[in-house]
Amino acid sequence: MRLVNLGSVTNSAVKGLTPKKGVGGGSTSQMSGRTVEASVTFGTYKGKTGSRAFIVKAKKRGGYPGRLGNFLNVGIYRQAGTRYIITLYEDDADKLDGTVSTAGIDGIGATTVEAIVYKINNTNLNNYIEAVMINNFTNVEFTDAAGVAAGDATPMTGGRG
């Protein structure tokens, strides 16, 4: 009787196939279907120049992953000197989870980028979107929005998969 050491043979090696890995560890067949979340960057832009303030992204595990995030519109309305009002709409003007104000946060000024990011990440908006602060500006107009209606919100883009 003859014994053979099979070592660490995998199913793909047994079938004459070798495992292939793409960038990020997924298989090459999944590379073309890679999910990228939609986002929008707000900043102090005057024409094509300015500084980025914060980024809002659709959540991977929220209701709008990948290309579905392109259906979201984020509204940032500044009430000069007092607070920001944040809204989230779908493309068909349906509002998601109400309107959030930056007023009333202890230790953070209501007119700061930090307050906007805090409210997005710590209210019901966080079921759908998340925010990352880049620069903490105070009392800056980011969107020139006339109000809090769906038409005043900025669309998210770049989502795919």
Q: How confident is the model at residue 38 (pLDDT cuts 50, 70, 90)?
A: very high
Domain that holds residue 137: 36-155
- The answer to whether residue 3 is domain-embedded is no
Domain count, the chain: 1
| Cα–Cα distance for residue pair 3/128, rounded to 1 Å | 58
- The Cα angle at residue 159 between residues 155 and 161, in degrees rounded to 5: 150
- The answer to whether residue 88 is domain-embedded is yes
How do residues 97-133 score in pLDDT, each as one tens digit? Answer: 778 999 988 889 999 999 999 999 999 999 999 999 9
Residue 69 in this model has a pLDDT that exceeds 60: yes
| Cα–Cα distance for residue pair 46/68, rounded to 1 Å | 30
